[in-house]
Amino acid sequence: MYVKRGVNEVKQIVVQDVFGGRGTVRGRQLLGEDAALVGTLPGFPDDFDSGIHFIHETIIDVGTLVGTHPHPDSEEVYFIVEGKAKMIVDGETVNLEASDAILTKKGSNHSIENVGDIPLRIIVVEGGVK
């Protein structure tokens, strides 16, 4: 069995000033369901049988900051497809560029900012206890 879903098959949402940040973020929920987006973005809660919650494609416009937010019960992987980012995880600054991956551990707080001159395109995978 498998589940295949592409960016042209799912709705894109546009969100402003995410988590008290600034600017525009566009996202598509490719697989799974983000509990924070239920009612805003259609999800696919039956996709995963494991502890993976979702896989998103996220595009963060130039100069946009996704504000600091907690992950008390989940971990997130960010894979940078295009662009440059600055992420602050538990007060520590990490610079990221295309082909970098970063894991933010359960219990951490983080923000991410597009510090490049093109839109920042990332794949985000979240998992934790179901």
Q: What is the mean pLDDT of residues 2-15?
A: 93
In a domain, 91, yes or no: yes
CATH number (domain holding residue 106): 2.60.120.10
Could you tell me which residues come within 8 angstroms of residue 87 by beta carbon, excluding any fewer than 6 positions away? 78, 93, 94, 96, 102, 104, 110, 111, 112, 113
Describe the chain by its helix, strand, coil percentages, rounded to 5. Answer: 5, 55, 40
Flag whether 1 is in a domain: no
Higher-confidence position of 38 and 127 = 127
The widest CA-to-CA distance across the chain, in whole angstroms, is 42
pLDDT of 23 > 80? The answer is yes
DSSP state of 105: P
SS (H, E, C) 47-59: CCCCCEEEEEEEE
Pairing of strands 84-89, 74-82: unpaired
- Would you say residue 107 lies in a domain? yes
Domain count, the chain: 1
pLDDT for 3 equals: 95
Mean pLDDT of 4-20: 93
The rounded mean pLDDT for the chain is 94
Question: What is the per-residue pLDDT across 67-92, written as a single tens digit (0 to 9) for each?
Answer: 999 989 999 999 999 999 999 999 99
Residue 36 confidence (pLDDT) above 90: no
Q: Is residue 104 part of a domain?
A: yes
Range of the domain at 111: 7-128
Q: Is 130 a residue whose pLDDT tops 70?
A: no
